[in-house]
Amino acid sequence: MGLSGSDKATYYFTSFYCFFLFRKMACFGIGNKTKGKCGEEEEKARREANKRIEKQLKKDKQQYYKSHMLLLLGDCDSGKSTIFNQMRLLDTELTAEEKLMQYMQHKKASGIFETYFRVGEYVFYLFNGRSGWRSIRRVFCDQSAYILVVDSSSYDMVCQGDNQTNQLQEALNNLENLWRRMRTMDRPVFLFLNKQDLLAEKVLAGKSKIEDYFPEFAHYTSHEHTTPVQGEDPSVTRAKYFIRDKFLKITASGDVDMHKCFPFFTCAIDLENIQRTFRDCGDKLNFCSS
């Protein structure tokens, strides 16, 4: 996960080549003109140097697996920029190795690299697919995963483009397309069911009913293992899980072992919620690549 296959190969080839070259040099006494005078001490020093290199390689490998490139996708106004800007505030000091990796990614993505940040033990490189779905072609293959941001409160809204298509239905169609295109890729999709605060407000206000737009909602019962947030109104829980299940129905079709979809209930204006979500994404990515 993180880099493409060829990058991965280059990374390991370079690391291990340097390591073995160093070892070989040590064996032949290169860089060591006084060999023989205090042989044992030199041998000890060499062993220690080897140990240090091995330790560093192990550390690099761990860090490599904890760096993830993510591409934000989604319809207009779904909340991509809000999420992006929240995370930009978290820009942190990265180590030299992380900066090098960032440079490599930057070069590779030819100018559309946007920001990087650390959440817990993970470093994320986040691209904002602002210019819509077209931009994904350029970076499609480089990503660790895709984030599809959906405005969950848009069940009663129409797309700005044609003033006709239901916005939530459009998001469902987009996921269906993405899923079809990704059939041969082993990349997870993180589904950010965003604007949960607005969805809750709408449901509780009772003015705009979901069943008026999605009639099947009238017969929907939440799945057994839904976990309601403490103090959450049951009608809100039912609504959010109904929307989640509509998306998951799409991703449950086809070869589910090839790639996975992980849903999250998000509120982009709540930094804590977004940070927690990214930490969970990191855990899922590490789990998927282990």
Which positions touch ligand GTP (CB under 6 A)?
74, 76-82, 130, 194-195, 197-198, 267-269
Which residues face 127 on adjacent strands? 71
Find, among 246, 45, 281, 261, the residue nearest to 152 by Cα. Answer: 246
The answer to whether 212 is a known ligand-binding residue is no
**What residue type is 56 in one-letter code?**
Q
* Closest to ligand GTP by CB, 2 or 74: 74
3-state secondary structure of 158: strand
What number of helices (H) and strands (E) belong to the chain?
A: 9, 6
The answer to whether 194 is a known ligand-binding residue is yes
- Shortest distance (Å) from residue 167 CB to ligand GTP: 12
* Closest to ligand GTP by CB, 80 or 259: 80
* Closest to ligand GTP by CB, 182 or 268: 268
Find, among 195, 71, 191, the residue nearest to 134 by Cα. Answer: 71
Tokens read off for 276: 């927690």
The answer to whether 55 is a known ligand-binding residue is no
- Shortest distance (Å) from residue 76 CB to ligand GTP: 4
The answer to whether 45 is a known ligand-binding residue is no
The answer to whether 197 is a known ligand-binding residue is yes
3-state secondary structure of 206: coil
- Shortest distance (Å) from residue 157 CB to ligand GTP: 12
Burial code of 200-212, b = ≥16 C-beta within 10 A, e = fewer?
bebbeeeeeebee
Q: Indicate the annotated binding residues for GTP.
A: 194-197, 268
